[in-house]
């Protein structure tokens, strides 16, 4: 009689076939591997947290910055903020100040490029706080290497024109030279053509967005708050930060304001962390 059981009918143990023994050993090994991987992952998380605590202390933060949540699987739909449209805006890069999300995240964007403080690069990479740079050519070209280090650290370098003019005062052709010339400069120097463009002073017209679109720009993010070394400024009447807000600051130092880039970052992080916000990467949401 053929029995499917390992146990013989007379109660004596029938040794499992070699194949079965092998399968059992494989399962045990796989289980041990999974356990070890889990322990390694937990140890890595503990080490990363320890490093973040140490970095926060080293840079004088009141609290350890919060880790951003995983970005949403489906990208949010970015539309132009009400009142910020130009005539015939459909199909032009959207102009927005907040990314629609319920996650408690804000996005840090830093403009122009005048101050090239090595301490700022160290601080941001040690704290692992993401940000996006909007660069003006005339401020970048005396030290391309500074922004190359930034890019190597994972920061996306975006377009803020060649010479930082008030764009609505220029013809379409001159606006195009300012915007598309900067596209070419960033691509030539840094190997990547930006898809984000921020008009200087946040000022633009229909020509600006047509010119930007013509050379590869997909989005025109503005900002909802601005942070300085000594204060915050708000676009909204409630003077609050909101989920998905884009925060503006500048590459500035003691020549422009009463403090350094790290002083500005401290002011920024102390507030957003205290209010339960994490800093996320703008490009992950676009």
Question: Of 17-25, 28-36, 103-111, 187-195, which part binds Zn ion (CB under 5 A)?
Answer: 103-111
112 near Zn ion, rule: CB under 5 A: yes
**Choice between 127 and 180, CB closer to Zn ion:** 180
Shortest distance in whole angstroms from residue 246 CB to Zn ion = 14
Q: Which whole-number Å values give the CA distances from 133 to 35, 239, 263, 269, 274, in the listed order?
A: 41, 24, 18, 17, 24
Q: Would you call 160 helix, strand, or coil by DSSP? A: coil
115 near Zn ion, rule: CB under 5 A: no
Interface mask (CB under 5 A) for Zn ion, residues 145-184, using x and -?
----------------------------------------
Shortest distance in whole angstroms from residue 202 CB to Zn ion = 9
Shortest distance in whole angstroms from residue 264 CB to Zn ion = 15
Q: Under rule CB under 5 A, how many of the chain's residues touch Zn ion? A: 3
Long-range CB pairs of 175-183 (<8 Å, 24+ gap) are: 175/207, 175/208, 175/211, 176/211, 176/214, 176/215, 179/208, 179/211, 179/212, 179/215, 179/217, 180/211, 180/214, 180/215, 181/137, 182/135, 182/136, 182/137, 183/159, 183/215, 183/216, 183/217
111 near Zn ion, rule: CB under 5 A: yes
DSSP lists the bridge partners of residue 13 as 7
Interface mask (CB under 5 A) for Zn ion, residues 56-95, using x and -?
----------------------------------------
Q: Could you give the CA distance from residue 179 to residue 241 in angstroms, rounded to a whole number? A: 30
From the list 200, 221, 244, 253, which residue makes contact with Zn ion (rule: CB under 5 A)? 200
Residues engaged in binding Zn ion (CB under 5 A): 111-112, 200
């Amino acid at each position: 009689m053929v029995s499917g059981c390992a146990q013989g009918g007379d109660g004596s143990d029938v040794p499992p076939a070699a194949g079965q023994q092998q399968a059992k050993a494989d399962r045990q090994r796989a289980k041990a591997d999974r356990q070890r991987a889990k322990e390694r992952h937990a140890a890595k998380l503990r080490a990363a947290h320890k490093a973040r605590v140490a970095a926060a202390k080293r840079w004088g933060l009141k609290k350890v910055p919060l880790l951003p949540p995983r970005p949403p699987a489906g990208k949010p739909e970015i539309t132009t903020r009400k009142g910020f449209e130009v005539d015939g805006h459909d199909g032009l890069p959207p102009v927005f100040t907040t990314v629609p999300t319920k996650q408690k995240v804000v996005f840090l964007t830093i403009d122009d490029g005048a101050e090239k403080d090595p301490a700022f690069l160290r601080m941001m990479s040690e704290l692992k706080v993401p940000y996006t740079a909007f660069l003006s050519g005339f401020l970048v070209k005396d030290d391309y290497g500074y922004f190359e280090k930034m890019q190597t650290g994972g920061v996306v370098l975006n377009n803020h024109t060649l010479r930082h003019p008030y764009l609505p005062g220029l013809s379409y052709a001159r606006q195009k030279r300012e915007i598309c010339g900067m596209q070419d400069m960033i691509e030539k120097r840094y190997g990547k053509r930006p898809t984000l463009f921020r008009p200087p002073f946040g000022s633009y017209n229909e020509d600006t967005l047509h010119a930007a679109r013509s050379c590869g720009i997909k989005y025109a993010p503005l900002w909802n708050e601005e942070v300085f070394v000594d204060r915050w400024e708000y676009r909204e009447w409630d003077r609050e930060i909101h989920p998905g807000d884009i925060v503006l600051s500048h590459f500035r130092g003691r020549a422009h304001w009463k403090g350094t880039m790290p002083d500005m970052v401290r002011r920024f992080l102390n507030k957003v962390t205290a209010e339960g916000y994490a800093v996320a990467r703008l490009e992950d949401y676009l």
